[in-house]
Amino acid sequence: LATIPAELQATVNIVSRQTGIVSGLPVLPIVFEMLPGSVSWSLLLSDGDTVQRGTVLASITGPVRSLLTGERTVLNFMTHLSGIASRTAEFVERVRGTNAIILDTRKTLPGYRLLQKYAVRCGGGTNHRMGLFDGILIKDNHLAARGEANCAAAVAAARGFMASLDAKAKIEIEVDSLQQLRDALQEQPEIVLLDNMPVEMLREAVAIRNENGPKTLLEASGGVTLQTVRTIAETGVERISVGSLTHSSPALDLGFDWPW
């Protein structure tokens, strides 16, 4: 209000300053519909599209006061979500040709889970549980809280609980040793999470699963990086979960570029 005349109108472009995957374009109209004046926009790409440095993602026309008011809100959402999508796409590309898929986790910013998990999908990743309500994951802390490390008993208890509700949900249990894996496979959980296992142990785990519980999927997790994910995928696990996709992906650099 102090520096921009009320009558000043312009068109501004949202431009990528890096190569990556775009996510968050639907936020733009939601923001600008809330601001004064007649603001119009044109979305030139779709979420999930690849952008290069200099790619124009959208054009917005209207009162410059409103364009500037909405600038940072739109960019905050889009740079964050596009960063997640871009980092996810890198992980997905690294495991191409293997049987492994890349999953996110529940390690999300409070209030932002749906948006962050949407961005993971834009990057070609797969959503793990959206919350505690749509799958049973028996974590190491659950076993510790029970006061014993019997994995088969915990899986059996989970199955009994689901039966009592006449409900169905996949049961996954976290293990950190091959002995725990063998124990868990006695009850044939749908998924076993192999926590922080080195590559050689992951290979052994796949062999044990193939011999004792071929219907159970194996998920590697813990400290997975772009440098290690390919080697992990080549062990034969079907799932690789990466918490850093949602809690540590760097933002994709986007900006407002004026025509002058």
Task: Render pLDDT for 226-258 as a digit per residue (tens, 0 to 9).
Answer: 999 999 999 999 999 999 999 999 999 999 999
pTM of the complete model: 0.96
Question: Could you tell me if 155 and 171 are in contact, meaning their C-beta atoms sit under 8 angstroms apart?
Answer: yes
Beta carbons within 10 angstroms of residue 16's beta carbon: 23
> pLDDT of 186-230, one tens digit each?
999 999 999 999 999 999 999 999 998 789 999 999 999 999 999
Does residue 107 carry a catalytic annotation?
yes
Query: Active-site residue among 53, 72, 96, 146?
Result: 72
Query: Active-site residue among 106, 113, 121, 139?
Result: 139
Within 13 Å, how many C-alpha atoms sit on residue 241's CB side? 25
In a 10 Å sphere around its CB, with 0-12 CB exposed, 13-18 middle and 19+ buried, how is residue 23 labelled? buried
Does residue 195 carry a catalytic annotation?
yes
Does residue 257 carry a catalytic annotation?
no
Indicate the pLDDT class of residue 259, thresholds 50, 70 and 90: confident
Does residue 174 carry a catalytic annotation?
yes
Strand order in the sheet with 217-221: 101-103, 239-241, 217-221, 191-195, 171-175, 136-138
Q: Can you point out the beta strands (E) in the chain? A: 9-16, 20-21, 40-43, 50-51, 56-63, 101-103, 136-138, 171-175, 191-195, 217-221, 239-241, 254-257
Question: Could you tell me if 220 and 202 are in contact, meaning their C-beta atoms sit under 8 angstroms apart?
Answer: yes
Query: Active-site residue among 47, 172, 174, 187?
Result: 174
Query: Active-site residue among 49, 93, 106, 107?
Result: 107
Does residue 117 carry a catalytic annotation?
no
Cα–Cα distance, 39 to 33 (Å, whole number): 7
Indicate the pLDDT class of residue 260, thresholds 50, 70 and 90: confident
Query: Active-site residue among 47, 104, 172, 195?
Result: 195
